[in-house]
Copies of this chain bind each other. A is one copy, B any other.
Amino acid sequence: MYIGLVVASIVVSLLAFVFAVWLYRWVQAVPSSNPRIAQVGEWIREGATTFLRREYKVLTAFAGAVAVLIFLFLPSPVWKGNNIPNLHMALAYIAGTVFSGVAGVMGMRVATIANVKTAEAALKGIKPSFMAGFRGGSVMGMAVVGSTLLGVSLVMLITKETSTLLGFSFGASSLALFAKAGGGIFTKTADVSADLVGKVELGIPEDDPRNPAVIADNVGDNVGDVAGMGADLFDSNVASMAAALVLAGALDRTVGGTNSAIVFCYAAAGLLASILGVMLARMGDSGPTSALNRSTYVTTGIYAVMTAIATVAFGFSWRIWGACMVGLAVGTLIGIASDYFTDDTKPPVHKVAKASAAGPAFTILSGVSYGFISALPALIGIAVSSLVAYNLCAPLGDGYAMFGIAMAAVGMLSIVGMIISNDAYGPIVDNARGLAEMGGLGEDVLEITDQLDSAGNTVKAVTKGFAIGAAGLTVIALLGTFVSEVNEKAVELGLQLITGFDIMNPAVFFGLLIGAAVPAVFSAMLILGVDRNAQRMVGEIHRQFREIRGLKEGKPGVVPEYGKCIDIATNGALRELIPAGLFTILITLAVGFIGGVQAIGGFLAGNIVSGLLLALFMSNAGGLWDNAKKFVEAGHEGGKGSDAHKSAVVGDTVGDPFKDTAGPSINTQITVVSLISSLAATLFLTGSLFR
């Protein structure tokens, strides 16, 4: 059954690719004819391609170096015996980076076509425009989930080693770390500078073609929110499968059972459910937001039914199915909680808007406060779901409890194909709005694209909550794989098995304190990167307005040097992301080599709790400020141009790197740290200063 399900998974993943190609063609077939839009769309596509090419060049060098290090040291030093596992590990690592890169490029490429199509389809009405945006985003969704399932299945078919899967997962997450952080720095550099000079200083509208940073801003949506977010969710998705399969493999080997088969079966079911969900998605008369949300709920329902049928058909345990459903339910609940704190029809947004009338300091203070409070329901949700999943599966026998948590994570991420489709829809319609403005398609079209864009922002909060929740459960499960890996090595080396990490052990507490500091420092480095980079770009925008004659006045034929701004964003992003990435990796190794396995256990726990707290805080506070600004712009608290509006703009600017650079990158940072720890388990076990 196991091999059969792995092969079936490969078939399903290929189906996803076929569907992605079909969607791609469908989007391409949407007619477009406006030459101005085609021109701007071409600029955006070029900018995005340039950035990705340069980013991947840097990453190739980095990944190559890491692959060599992996070959030399992991799972155990290459000179100490068998080279095959090391070779497998290094190749799996490279495969992880390549799969992630391919999914990112595919998604980005269609996104930069879909934006043009969405803009022009709006001339025919909101429904065709919605479909172009949504199906464009779905290509990314299908590519990511197909790559996950294909990659994981192939690694398992070829190497038959669950440890190697951790190498594949590490490849995915080290790429995601840079893609998310680099893309995040790029997009916010451009966004912040464009707003700062355009809207605040000169009072010209968003997406005004006179603004030299406007193309860079649109490019940023694609490299940060499409490619970066895709890499992020690819990473979480792979990590959740890897964690589940490592634990399942250990169970299957020791007590027997069909646990690995369950993982593949449920993952394939999730992909099929997402395909059906995307195919069925249509916009009715209730508007784009409810269309997006309905498609998520439909997919969830299909998934629950499909896995229930599979559970009966294959005789799987209902307890494991239950754990999976707990994850799915809590994911949805976390999304709803995030929505509460960021939706512009709910009290927090109104209160922040009201506080803004007293000055920007109050915008910040109230936003920070609600951001902190918003972390509580999500953390309680993750805490409760891990407790329930654990206790649900514990009666199945030793080791099943932790597997239950891993399956809750798999459940939460099962419908990720649909989540990504919704998420990638956002930047596509955001771009389309910009293109409609620059292409002069008129007020009616702008109204449609505004409506589509606002739906994108609303579902974004939900999908982000989902992504953070899933990452949370995944990394708890990865803590379990860490123990499982350490003990496998301990048996080989004849060392004592570890049973856990006691907080009263000072090595564990040592790790806990330092681990908690890491996400804070990591986010600070990214934010400072955006800050520095935006200051450079603001300087450049000022220069262009000063030196290019007729630009400010909008003289026909005068075009700003868009490329210069793209260059600044690109160079800055690549320069700023390296230190943050290295810091994360090096401090993990330092803690491991000083305090050993126990310190790493504490380090991971500290990293997870503080990382989740900060990620939720930053994402939600950022979303809250964004919507508070829009709420004021819609005419509340004095509307546009009022003092409240000025304050709200400050909040939005602070929130931008919070929600689109630092917040979502923390997810990846946690996963990277967890995977390095599992991979280097042997080294920490034998080579640390303290034991």
B-contacting residues of A (Cβ < 8 Å)?
Answer: 192, 196, 200, 355, 358-362, 364-366, 368-373, 375-376, 379-380, 382-384, 386-387, 390-391, 401-402, 405, 476, 479-480, 483, 499-514, 516-517, 520-521, 523-525, 527-528, 530-531, 534-535, 538, 595, 601-602, 605-606, 609-610, 612-613, 617, 650, 653-654, 657
Copies in the complex: 2
Question: How many angstroms between the C-alpha atoms of A512 and B372 in the bound complex?
Answer: 17
Question: How many angstroms between the C-alpha atoms of A113 and B516 in the bound complex?
Answer: 44
Of listed A366, A368, A601, A613, residue having the most chain B CB within 10 A: A368
Question: How many angstroms between the C-alpha atoms of A361 and B626 in the bound complex?
Answer: 13
Residues of B within 8 A of A499 (CB): 502, 504
Question: How many angstroms between the C-alpha atoms of A118 and B523 in the bound complex?
Answer: 44
Residues of B within 8 A of A525 (CB): 369, 373
Residues of B within 8 A of A609 (CB): 512-513, 516, 606, 609-610
Q: List 15 A-B contacts (CB under 8 A).
A: A192-B361, A359-B650, A368-B524, A369-B524, A373-B525, A383-B509, A387-B507, A387-B510, A390-B506, A402-B504, A479-B504, A503-B601, A509-B605, A516-B609, A609-B609
Given known A373-B524, A506-B387, A514-B380, contact A365–B657 (CB-CB < 8 A): yes
Residues of B within 8 A of A650 (CB): 359-361, 364, 650
Residues of B within 8 A of A613 (CB): 516-517, 520, 610
- Chain B: minimal CB distance from A11 (Å): 36
* CB-contact partner of A504 in B483, B505, B520, under 8 A: B483
Given known A379-B514, A520-B372, contact A504–B501 (CB-CB < 8 A): yes
- Chain B: minimal CB distance from A281 (Å): 34
Residues of B within 8 A of A375 (CB): 517, 520-521
Residues of B within 8 A of A602 (CB): 503
- Chain B: minimal CB distance from A152 (Å): 25
Given known A365-B530, A504-B479, A528-B366, contact A521–B372 (CB-CB < 8 A): yes
Residues of B within 8 A of A507 (CB): 387
Q: Kindly list 6 other residue pairs between chains A and B, CB separation below 8 angstroms, not including A369-B523, A369-B528.
A: A361-B653, A373-B525, A375-B521, A387-B510, A502-B503, A509-B605
Question: How many angstroms between the C-alpha atoms of A534 and B357 in the bound complex?
Answer: 13
Residues of B within 8 A of A358 (CB): 196, 534-535, 538
Residues of B within 8 A of A200 (CB): 359
- Chain B: minimal CB distance from A367 (Å): 10
- Chain B: minimal CB distance from A554 (Å): 24
Write the chain B residue with the least CB distance to A507: B387
- Chain B: minimal CB distance from A645 (Å): 14
Residues of B within 8 A of A359 (CB): 196, 200, 650, 653
Residues of B within 8 A of A513 (CB): 379-380, 382-383, 609, 612
Which 7 A-B pairs have CB atoms at the shortest separation, nearest pair first? A500-B502, A361-B653, A369-B524, A372-B524, A372-B520, A390-B506, A500-B504
Residues of B within 8 A of A509 (CB): 383, 386-387, 476, 605
Question: How many angstroms between the C-alpha atoms of A196 and B523 in the bound complex?
Answer: 31
Given known A513-B612, A535-B358, contact A521–B386 (CB-CB < 8 A): no
Residues of B within 8 A of A514 (CB): 379-380, 383
Question: How many angstroms between the C-alpha atoms of A508 and B605 in the bound complex?
Answer: 11
* CB-contact partner of A362 in B362, B376, B480, B535, under 8 A: B535
- Chain B: minimal CB distance from A373 (Å): 5
Write the chain B residue with the least CB distance to A613: B516
Contact call A480/B504, Cβ cutoff below 8 A: yes
- Chain B: minimal CB distance from A96 (Å): 27
Residues of B within 8 A of A653 (CB): 359, 361, 365
Contact call B654/A364, Cβ cutoff below 8 A: yes
- Chain B: minimal CB distance from A175 (Å): 25
Question: How many angstroms between the C-alpha atoms of A507 and B531 in the bound complex?
Answer: 41
Of listed A361, A370, A375, residue having the most chain B CB within 10 A: A361
Write the chain B residue with the least CB distance to A609: B516
Given known A369-B531, A375-B520, A520-B375, contact A503–B508 (CB-CB < 8 A): yes
Residues of B within 8 A of A503 (CB): 479, 500-503, 508, 601-602, 605
Question: How many angstroms between the C-alpha atoms of A416 and B1 in the bound complex?
Answer: 69
Residues of B within 8 A of A512 (CB): 605, 609
Contact call B376/A517, Cβ cutoff below 8 A: yes
Residues of B within 8 A of A373 (CB): 520-521, 524-525
Residues of B within 8 A of A372 (CB): 520-521, 523-524
Contact call A524/B610, Cβ cutoff below 8 A: no
